[in-house]
Chain A
Amino acid sequence: MAEFNPEKITFKVQRYNPENGGAPHLEKFTVPFNKGMTVLDGLLYIKENIDSTLSFRASCRMGICGSCGMLVNNYPHLACHTQIEEFHSDKLTVRPLPNLSIIKDLVVDLTPMFSSHKQIKPYLIRGEAGMEDPNAEFAQSPQELNTFLQFAYCIKCGICLAACPTSASDRLFLGPQAMAQCYRYCADSRDQGQKERLPLVDTDHGVWRCHLAGACSEACPKGLDPALAIQLLKRQLAAEALGLGKRRPPSPVVPPIKESKPKVPYPDFTVKKEK
């Protein structure tokens, strides 16, 4: 493939300010291209040098915070995690994430995603009173950790929600993000909250509404597979409904270590201090 090295990139960015009224429209910006430049670098160049009124969210610039999710050339991406070179085109169209309402320009309102996330109780639920005053750890083997580990990497960027065709048609749909997190906590051997969480996804707009398009898994910038989590939740629900659900004892509490190992002594200085 020929080397992609244009001098300039044309950004078509969707602009929309509800306070000023009018319809969302595309605005053109020309940005000088450098090797390794990301879509976020281009947007930052526009904001710093061309139009400071352009609004977008960004923070960590390394695919960790999940702030800069946007639709680049009609596909949801993290702007900081996407190099312009990937598109092999000197024209980029940047729009806000679909399935969410626009606050301004490329900034969308993620409140529905976070309220769905909160709804599924994304924390460990234990029956005992020990959770009130935790002073020890719950034992968990590496195998038990692996049953949900990938889902713990979710950065809540909203890209799965933007890619999901069901979220596009059903605004009450819980969404792949919340349901993957529901599975993440239900599969955690330290958790005892299945009875509280499973009814929350066993609704008309829960797991059974998922069409298994798999778009969420394909778009996830962290490589998670929310579609798999939803299918595993369906399996758990079906097993519970048919009375085949496995009852697993919760992870035991590891007593606090009474005596800590002696610390490794610091090595002697190689350069002796002169007296």
Chain B
Amino acid sequence: MRRTRLHLLHMFSGIAIAVLAGIHMVALHLEEVLAFFGVDASEPTSWGAMIARSSQGIWVGIYIALLAFLLYHALYGLRGIILELTPSARKERVITWLFVVVGIAVFIWGSYVPISLLSS
């Protein structure tokens, strides 16, 4: 059931992206919605507000989770398209490992910034 688990994770990551990116969109770009719920978020896109968010563990967690789900969803989907258009057992192994390496490298690179901001 390995492929099924990976595919279910692909579906779940799509839902998680919608939720986490939704939180990001509301917090940064829909101040009026936040104001409706009584949350004062003046200039959430300013440098100061961004640094303030980066010092909170919850926001760092949200962004790292969003990055992980986005990378998995995008790379697994792209791998599927490539394997469908150029099917070959040998190529399949090469592409899978290439995508795993690229995914891990981008994840480390992308999560380094929020973690370093949190610890600073």
- Using a CB–CB distance below 8 Å, which chain A residues touch chain B? 166, 169-173, 198-199, 202-206, 208-209, 234, 237-238, 240-242
Contact = CB atoms under 8 A, between A and B. Distances in A.
Contact of A171 (B5, B8, B87, B92): B87
Nearest to B6: A208
A241 B83 contact: no
A166 B5 CA distance: 22
Contact of B84 (A170, A198, A206, A242): A170
Given A173-B87, A202-B2, 5 more contacts: A199-B1, A204-B3, A204-B80, A208-B7, A241-B4
8 contacts: A172-B87, A173-B87, A203-B3, A204-B3, A206-B3, A234-B4, A241-B8, A242-B8
Interface of B: 1-5, 7-8, 80, 83-85, 87, 92
A130 B87 CA distance: 41
A172 B92 CA distance: 12
Nearest to B83: A204
Contacts of B84: 166, 169-170, 173, 209
Given A169-B85, A172-B87, A208 B3 contact: yes
A205 B83 CA distance: 9
Contacts of A241: 1, 4-5, 8
A202 B85 CA distance: 19
A203 B83 CA distance: 12
A87 B8 CA distance: 43
A100 to B, nearest CB: 16
- Most chain A CB atoms below 10 A, which of B4, B80, B92: B4
A78 to B, nearest CB: 29
B77 to A, nearest CB: 12
A166 B84 CA distance: 8
Given A238-B8, A242-B8, A170 B2 contact: no
B87 A205 contact: yes
- Most chain A CB atoms below 10 A, which of B1, B5, B80, B83: B1
